[in-house]
Structure formats: structure tokens, C-alpha cells
Amino acid sequence: MPRPPSKHGLERKYKSWRKGKSKKFSPSSDNDNMPNKSTGGGGGGGGNGSLKNQLRSQRRLLSKLPKGNDEDHKEKRKMIETRIEDLVKQIQEKEQMEKERKNATKYHRLKF
């Protein structure tokens, strides 16, 4: 005996014979060749994330390094500090460019 129809009408939207037929979530080998969407957080602050995320990652990595006199730690610390300086410069340049672009579009006038 079939169920009586409900007031909200979702039984028409979610048809029982279609359950599990979606291609979007089916496990197939088509998704194997899709690019990986990594934000660059793993492995010491990768390069795919935004500049601010990279800067945060590098600062966190720098804070985790021990402050000993070991040569390896000094080299790593120096590399990370130079990377942080470069990222800060890139962020400032990007913000300046965005500000100039915003003002250029805001105050653009047609000239005849």
C-alpha cells in the first residue's frame, strides 16, 4: 500500500528509483585525471595558497624551529626569514596594484 502524499511534496523531487544513480558521486576512474586542489598548507608551506596563507604558514614554521646553535637550524631559519620578507613585499605590491586598479576603474572618465 503506497504512502499518502505529504504536504511538502518532496516525494516528487526525490524519486525512489533514482537513488544512487548520480554520476557526480559515483566512484569511477574519471576523477583520477583531475588536478589536485591543494592550498599549499602541507610540506612546509607550499606555493599554491594565497600569499597571506603562505606568509602565515612560514611564520608558523619559523616559530616551530628550535632556537639552538645548530648550523642546519640556522640555515633553515635564514631561508624561512628571507621567504617571509619576499612574501611581505609581494603582498604589499599586490595590495598597491589592487588599490591602483580600483581607483582607475572608479575615476575613469570617457574623453572625446
pLDDT 10s digit of each residue in the chain, 112 long? 676 777 776 766 666 666 665 565 555 544 444 444 444 444 554 557 899 999 999 999 999 988 877 888 888 999 999 999 999 999 999 999 999 999 888 887 766 5
Q: How far is CA 22 from the centre of its chain?
A: 27
Helices and strands (H, E) in the chain, number of each type: 4, 0
- Among the listed residues 73, 47, 74, the one whose alpha carbon sits nearest the alpha carbon of residue 58: 47
Residues 6+ apart with CB under 8 A from 67: 73
What local confidence, expressed as pLDDT, does residue 67 receive?
Answer: 80
What local confidence, expressed as pLDDT, does residue 69 receive?
Answer: 78
What local confidence, expressed as pLDDT, does residue 37 receive?
Answer: 45
What local confidence, expressed as pLDDT, does residue 89 receive?
Answer: 96
Supply the angle between the helices 71-106 and 51-64 in degrees, to the nearest 10: 160
Residue 58: all three cell numbers together = 612560514
Return d(Cα 26, Cα 104) in angstroms, integer.
48
What local confidence, expressed as pLDDT, does residue 17 receive?
Answer: 64
What local confidence, expressed as pLDDT, does residue 1 receive?
Answer: 66
Q: What DSSP character marks residue 5?
A: P
